[in-house]
Amino acid sequence: MEFFRRFFSFLYKCWFIFSFAIPFFLFLPFYLVVLPFRSLLLPAFYLTRIHCFFILSLSGIWVRKRYFFPKNQLPRPCVFVANHTSYLDILISYRIIPHYFIFMGKAELGKIPIFNLYFKHMHVLVDRKSRIGSHKAFMEVATKIDEGTSVYIFPEGTISNEGKLKPLKNGAFKLAIDKQVPIVPIVYSANWKLLQNGGFFKSLARPGFAYATIFPPIETKGMTEENLVSLRSSVEEIYRQNLPV
């Protein structure tokens, strides 16, 4: 039974790569037109939303989202903070958040040919190995928030292989407090079961439903750095109540 499950996962991953590659190259000419121009980043965002819809649909992944507040009351700007269990998290983010946002992503994404064009122009990359680089990246996203742009951060900083929560880093919460904008917690409860991290042949994958829960915004107005730990703990508690221990 385990052999067949692994074999099916292998076949599905091959199909997923195909489902990812075909839309990417179809959409690439449009990205090449809009990405170099700052004034066209909003159209590029909506283009990405459509792009992600095609990838997920072709790969047989359907998003089930639940909002604990009216969807049209998503604050702008804000800091979205989501747990990170799969590369699917990035694709699904575009299906659950309707208004323009940018990611804070790891610097390694900027080193991938072709992909680096997309990440360099649309998002902010952070070199976690460099304190100066990290500070520069957070200053850049702080400026984006001042301009009215929401920021999407995975506070664990890395992907969990089995959906279990890793320690949260302070950066996202400090950013929200410094800029006095709301934190919006998001929980992905089963993405890792659909596309597990941990190696092409070792990890599991399958089509199915991806579940995303968007929790009410946590206001940070009036908070200072003294409230940072309690804010982080509040979000961590939301994660722990909805994820495997």
Give the mean pLDDT of 151-169. Answer: 89
pLDDT for 1 equals 66
pLDDT for 245 equals 57
CB atoms closer than 10 angstroms to residue 202: 11
Average pLDDT, the chain: 89
Give the mean pLDDT of 157-164. Answer: 82
CA dihedral 127, 131, 136, 140 (to 10 degrees): 70
Whether 236 contacts 223, CB under 8 Å: no
Instruction: Kindly tell me if the per-residue pLDDT of 115 is higher than 70.
Output: no
Question: 127 falls in which pLDDT band (50, 70, 90)?
Answer: confident
pLDDT digits (tens, 9 = 90+) for 172-189: 999 999 999 999 999 999
* % pLDDT > 70, the chain: 93
Instruction: Kindly tell me if the per-residue pLDDT of 5 is higher than 80.
Output: no
Whether 188 contacts 89, CB under 8 Å: yes
Strands 150-153 and 183-188: unpaired
158 alpha carbon, distance to own chain's centre? 11
Question: 107 falls in which pLDDT band (50, 70, 90)?
Answer: low
CA distance to 64, 108, 113, 136, 229, per residue, from 170 (Å): 29, 21, 31, 16, 8
pLDDT digits (tens, 9 = 90+) for 17-63: 999 989 988 998 998 888 888 888 999 999 999 999 999 999 999 99
**Residues with Cβ within 8 Å of residue 180, at least 6 apart in sequence:** 220, 221, 222, 223
Instruction: Kindly tell me if the per-residue pLDDT of 124 is higher than 80.
Output: yes
Question: 210 falls in which pLDDT band (50, 70, 90)?
Answer: very high
* % pLDDT > 90, the chain: 61
Instruction: Kindly tell me if the per-residue pLDDT of 104 is higher than 90.
Output: no
pLDDT for 2 equals 73
